Amino acid sequence: MLKKLRLDQTKIYELTIATYEISTMLVDFVRGRKHYLSIGAEQGDVDTWDDLIIEKEKDLLVHIQVKRQKTNFSNDNCIRDKITKQERKGQPKDLSSIDKSMKSLAEWIKNNNNDLNKKEFHIELPNLEVQLKKGLIVGQFKDLIEQHYKPNITTTQGLSNLASKDSSVKNCYNWLNSWCDFEDWDHILNLLSIIKIKDSGLETDIKLKTEDKLKDIFISDKVKEVRERILSYIHINTTFTGAVSPRCLLFELKSYLQPNISLWTQFEKQDSKWCVSGTNDIELNTEIERPNFVIPKLWNGTLLQNLKINAELSDRCGVSDSLLRLAIHQTGNSNTHCVNSAVIRSRINDKIGGTLGLEINDVQTLSIVENNENFRCEEIKQLSSRAENRNYSDNMEKTMHLETWNKVSINIEELISGMYNIHSTTLQDQLEARWEIWKKKLNNDAQGIGELLKSIVHPRAEGESINGMLRVGMRTAQLLAESLFNLLIISIALDPENNGDWKKINDKLAPVAVGLRYWSGEAGKQRKVKAIDEDGNIIIGKETANALIFSKVTSPPNEMWNDLISYSKDQVQNSIADGKTPDLIITNCVEFRKLINKGDIEAVRNYVKSQLRDSESINLTNIKEITG
């Protein structure tokens, strides 16, 4: 009975240590740090070293031998002697439990087929004062490992010389040599490179340490309950065929997480395949980091949500481009942690021509930092084919379209509700009605949303080398809303019966809203970020739409007309002379803004109509000026 009780107590101790190690794995995983990949038991290939087995990294296992030893392992001498009494007289004395474990390790090290770089071995016990052999305690063996061994520096001759001066080192050698079958200092040197001793305290100490660690991510007054649930989870899962992995465990404990805990999503490559992992999507244990769960959190702007890109991005790769867009539009406290962040920034700069259209230096303010904690995950969604890559990227783009649209919609409604209405509410009333029609049609049309928003931030004059879709997101949502707000005004001013078509006005005008404040310049020329009103003539000259609305140009429309006339003198295409000039140019000039503030739809309508140009009867004076 006493033996059984001791065995039960040893098992309890093992489980207590396992709970601590699993808690460490879980906390590191949730915090987005390098973490153990899994923890199990009774699945090792080294005899007696399977109390606990940690998959520390891919191809690196930690075998833990748990010893709840409060009394001496042995009172025998460090040099193995023989039995002197009874029927076994003359036979070598029996090995202690720790002798047997070390002997097994000696055999494993000696086998040349085993790779010492792929395993570590830990011994965990309550304290270091326990005696291994007469005159040798665990603490002295630990000193040999930690103080007298230095990787790539310590030599066998150095250890031999030390043993001649230090009795504790000599005792370690005698014990390992005569009891555990280590042949010489070379053999022991290999042991020192892979073994650690840990004095973990007793169960009460370890439980307190575990709960203290769990407080890092879980609600403080729930950590005891969390620890007990982890213990229960271990009973179910740590078998020969099962191991505890962090994400699966987190799914069981997600209700205990601190409400404002930082979450993360990581993209890495394993065997050249994109792999996705993280904590932003733990709704189902069978699904990993679905875009429609991940992106709303990464673009939240208020919580600390981190994107990790631990791989080089590729050209002509949908996932790579989607990741750039996702990274660009993280705001608030969130960051994108990248391998080679300078390369990522340079790639973004090239693809958007150096600007999002907000400010002359807006690319410099992106929340992209170097990733200093590169780690691998095993619980992943692997995109194993081109079709899976394409499908995941399409889902990312769709979700980003819809998230941007949600934010733009909120901003437009704020613009409408915030109107001054100095003289009337007729403009506001019609804006609200027209907006409801447009919004209803667009709400579930992700492709239509993408096309509309891209057209606002990507003038044709920039050319196809600019990836305009990268400019569409949270950072430009206000700019997009202001452009659409002005487009709505022009729509109701010239087409009061419009049934919800933002692509045309009264069957004569094809509008385009140019929302940029800055752009990258004309295609085919050296890129240079400039204010949009410096080159309005170039943008107008390249557009096929015949109604252009510049929400970030504050000069009057006639100034843009004058610039266009001068520009057209030297142009062969898209000039006033060849009849491709627009029929309407609207800017956000002072006069237009004042009329909006007054709120009278008829006054706005009269102003907009006054800016219309009949393309079939172009001013002959201007033509003569151009053609000479």
Residue 405 has pLDDT above 90, yes or no: yes
Q: Give me the mean pLDDT over the 245-258 stretch.
A: 96
pLDDT at site 575: 47
**DSSP letter (8 states) at residue 217:** T
Summarised one tens digit per residue, pLDDT across range 567-612 is 554 454 444 444 468 999 999 999 999 999 999 999 999 999 999 9
pLDDT at site 192: 98
Q: Tokens 């949908």 label which residue?
A: 318
Q: Are 231 and 210 in contact (CB under 8 A)?
A: no
pLDDT confidence tier of residue 345, bands split at 50, 70 and 90: very high
Structure tokens at 61: 């296992």
Higher pLDDT, residue 543 or 303:
543
Percent of the chain at pLDDT above 70? 93
CA angle 23, 27, 31 (to 5 degrees): 170
Q: Tokens 């095993």 label which residue?
A: 378
Find the farthest-apart pair of alpha carbons in the chain and give their distance in angstroms, rounded: 129
Residue 264: left if φ>0, alpha if ψ -120 to 50, beta else—which one?
A: beta
Structure tokens at 11: 């098992």
Q: How far apart are CA 305 and CA 336, in angstroms?
A: 9
pLDDT at site 498: 77
Q: How far apart are CA 375 and CA 340, in angstroms?
A: 15
Q: Are 143 and 85 in contact (CB under 8 A)?
A: no
Beta-carbon-side half-sphere exposure of residue 193 (alpha carbons within 13 Å): 19
pLDDT at site 620: 44
Least Cα distance to 351 among 390, 320, 393, 312 occurs for 320
Which residue intervals of 147-263 are DSSP H helices?
A: 156-163, 167-178, 185-192, 203-214, 223-237, 246-253
pLDDT at site 565: 67
Summarised one tens digit per residue, pLDDT across range 200-225 is 999 999 999 999 999 999 999 999 99
Summarised one tens digit per residue, pLDDT across range 151-206 is 999 999 999 999 999 999 999 999 999 999 999 999 999 999 999 999 999 999 99
Summarised one tens digit per residue, pLDDT across range 409-432 is 999 999 999 999 999 999 999 999
Q: How far apart are CA 92 and CA 103, in angstroms?
A: 15
Q: Are 571 and 541 in contact (CB under 8 A)?
A: yes
**DSSP letter (8 states) at residue 93:** P
Summarised one tens digit per residue, pLDDT across range 22-36 is 999 999 999 999 999
Q: How far apart are CA 143 and CA 159, in angstroms?
A: 13
Q: How far apart are CA 64 and CA 41, in angstroms?
A: 9
**DSSP letter (8 states) at residue 184:** S
Q: Are 133 and 95 in contact (CB under 8 A)?
A: no
Angstrom CA distances, 238 to 332, 354, 514, 614, stand at: 41, 53, 61, 80
Q: How far apart are CA 132 and CA 77, in angstroms?
A: 9
Strand partners, 514: 550
Least Cα distance to 74 among 141, 137, 11 occurs for 137
Residue 372 has pLDDT above 90, yes or no: no
pLDDT at site 200: 92
Q: Give me the mean pLDDT over the 518-530 stretch.
A: 94
Residue 2 has pLDDT above 50, yes or no: no
pLDDT, averaged across the chain: 91
CB atoms within 10 A of CB 624: 10
pLDDT at site 626: 42
pLDDT confidence tier of residue 387, bands split at 50, 70 and 90: very high
Residues of 27-45 as b/e, b for ≥16 C-beta within 10 angstroms?
A: bbbbbbeebbbbbbbeebe
First to last CA, the chain: 115
Summarised one tens digit per residue, pLDDT across range 101-116 is 999 999 999 999 999 9
Q: Which residues contact 325 (CB under 8 A, 6 or more apart)?
A: 396, 397, 400, 469, 470, 472, 473
Summarised one tens digit per residue, pLDDT across range 557-574 is 998 888 776 555 445 444
pLDDT at site 219: 98
pLDDT at site 45: 83
Least Cα distance to 295 among 444, 442, 402, 412 occurs for 402
Strand partners, 119: 61
Summarised one tens digit per residue, pLDDT across range 419-471 is 999 999 999 999 999 999 999 999 989 999 999 999 999 999 999 999 999 99
Least Cα distance to 38 among 7, 14, 62 occurs for 62
Q: Give me the mean pLDDT over the 88-100 stretch.
A: 93
Summarised one tens digit per residue, pLDDT across range 530-541 is 999 888 889 998
Q: How far apart are CA 511 and CA 502, in angstroms?
A: 8
Collapsed DSSP state (helix, strand, coil) of residue 265: strand
Alpha-carbon 435 to chain mean position: 35
pLDDT confidence tier of residue 3, bands split at 50, 70 and 90: very low
Structure tokens at 38: 């899994």
Q: Are 334 and 475 in contact (CB under 8 A)?
A: no
What backbone phi and psi angles, to 5 degrees, belong to 499? -95, 15
Higher pLDDT, residue 135 or 625:
135
Q: Give me the mean pLDDT over the 66-86 stretch.
A: 93
Q: Give me the mean pLDDT over the 57-82 stretch.
A: 95
pLDDT at site 304: 85
CA dihedral 424, 428, 431, 433 (to 10 degrees): -100
Q: Are 611 and 509 in contact (CB under 8 A)?
A: no
Q: Tokens 């021509």 label which residue?
A: 353
Residue 499 has pLDDT above 90, yes or no: no
pLDDT at site 625: 43
Q: How far apart are CA 12 and CA 19, in angstroms?
A: 10
Which residue intervals of 254-334 are DSSP H helices?
A: 291-298, 318-328
Least Cα distance to 196 among 138, 130, 110 occurs for 138
